A = this chain, B = another copy of it.
Amino acid sequence: MSKSTINDVARLAGVSIKTVSRVVNRESGVRDATREKVEKAIAELNYWPNQSARDLAASRAHLICLVYDDPSAYKLPSSGYIIRLQEGVLRVCRSLGYELLIHPCNYRNDDVESELKFLIQRARPTGIVLAAPLSNIPKIVRAISATGTPLVRLSPGQKLSKEMVVATNDREFAAEMTCYLASLGHRRIGFITGHPRHKAVGHRFEGYKAGLKASGLTFSEELVAAGDNSFGSGEAAALKLLDRKSRPTAIFAANDDMAVGVLRVADRLGIRVPDELSIAGCDDITLAEQIHPALTTIRQPFAAMAEKATLMLVKGTEESEAPKGTVIVPGALKIRESTGPAPG
């Protein structure tokens, strides 16, 4: 292991440490010949700058903090979501020389706010990427904002704001899914709404209505059942929808967990999927692909969103003008086995 310092490099290259620093930091105004000398010395000594020293001297930390709802606080099958977020942030961090600090946090705790302030004070990150659903919780957003740390929120219901937000187009792709179902010949397309506090799923409901209209179908309360994003509520809603005299030939659930619930109910009732009933979800959870029949759903671009968010944070810090406003990263339909032509 090398433990050579900038001094060693400077001595070997026959320049001052400042010049080495310039080369390392890719600053302009270094003659090519000099740069090469220094680079050779760096390579030879296997030198790598001491991050602590850099951060201290420049009084800035090369650190991005990703804050998300703690999955260990309760049985959450959402680990895939988190991994994808991490993936996106890491991609940017690696390429730009930042480090990633992950902070699962339980918003049900009374002291989340001080926990976050504590974290920020301790780590002094360059910026924070705040994942949903935390990004929708005012007290959390406020606690972070109060510290003055740059913050990018992920998909907090897409309402435009002056803060930095990265969202996806829930409304649009829900409409697209609805149109897709209609294009398969379905006329009675049911919808299962999600948890009222979860804004994104609200947008999907709107998208569903828009899709119906775009396909020349009329909206009917008859075809809507309420869920709360949970598997169980999906089952209950499915039971309700499928019990009706003229039952839907397709059911679009506001998220995959509920869609899987529908799938289970259909199985139990002996309704063949997709022959007799098409089922679509939203989120593309890991299970969606493993279940049988594989679930048609919408893949949320979590990694891409996180990547974008991190980029905004870094750009905002390194360049003078911090990017503001909402950036949309579109989701993509994943057509799999659970949807097919309308029966009859």
Residues of A in contact with B (beta carbons under 8 Å apart): 1-2, 46, 48, 50-53, 55-56, 61, 71-72, 75, 77, 79-80, 82-84, 86-87, 90, 99-102, 104, 120-124, 147-149, 231, 260, 264, 286-287, 289-290, 292, 303
Please, how many angstroms separate the alpha-carbon atoms of A290 and B149 in the complex? 39
Q: Which residues of chain B come closer than 8 Å to A264, judged between CB atoms?
A: 292
Q: Which residues of chain B come closer than 8 Å to A100, judged between CB atoms?
A: 101-102
Q: Contacts A52-B55, A55-B52, A101-B100 given: A290-B90 contact, CB under 8 Å? A: no
Please, how many angstroms separate the alpha-carbon atoms of A303 and B73 in the complex? 13
Q: Which residues of chain B come closer than 8 Å to A71, judged between CB atoms?
A: 83, 87
The answer to whether B48 touches A56 (Cβ under 8 A) is no
Interface SS of A by simple majority: helix
Please, how many angstroms separate the alpha-carbon atoms of A191 and B55 in the complex? 55
**Residue of A83, A123, A148, A260 with most chain B CB atoms under a 10 A cut-off:** A83
Q: Contacts A77-B286, A87-B72 given: A46-B99 contact, CB under 8 Å? A: no
Q: Which residues of chain B come closer than 8 Å to A52, judged between CB atoms?
A: 51-53, 55-56, 61
**Residue of A52, A53, A82, A148 with most chain B CB atoms under a 10 A cut-off:** A52
**A82 — nearest CB in chain B belongs to which residue?**
B83
Q: Which residues of chain B come closer than 8 Å to A121, judged between CB atoms?
A: 1-2, 46, 48
5 example contacts (A-B, Cβ-Cβ < 8 A) are as follows A72-B83, A72-B84, A86-B104, A286-B286, A287-B287
Please, how many angstroms separate the alpha-carbon atoms of A102 and B100 in the complex? 7
Q: Contacts A56-B52, A72-B83, A83-B82 given: A90-B102 contact, CB under 8 Å? A: yes
Other than the known A71-B87, A79-B79, A79-B83, what 9 A-B pairs have Cβ atoms closer than 8 Å? A1-B147, A2-B121, A51-B123, A52-B53, A77-B286, A77-B290, A86-B104, A99-B101, A231-B290
**Residue of A48, A260, A286, A292 with most chain B CB atoms under a 10 A cut-off:** A286
Q: Which residues of chain B come closer than 8 Å to A56, judged between CB atoms?
A: 50, 52-53, 56
Q: Which residues of chain B come closer than 8 Å to A101, judged between CB atoms?
A: 99-100
Which of B51, B82, B260 is in CB contact (< 8 Å) with A79? B82
The answer to whether A51 touches B122 (Cβ under 8 A) is yes
Please, how many angstroms separate the alpha-carbon atoms of A50 and B57 in the complex? 12
The answer to whether B99 touches A123 (Cβ under 8 A) is yes
The answer to whether A104 touches B82 (Cβ under 8 A) is no
**A72 — nearest CB in chain B belongs to which residue?**
B87
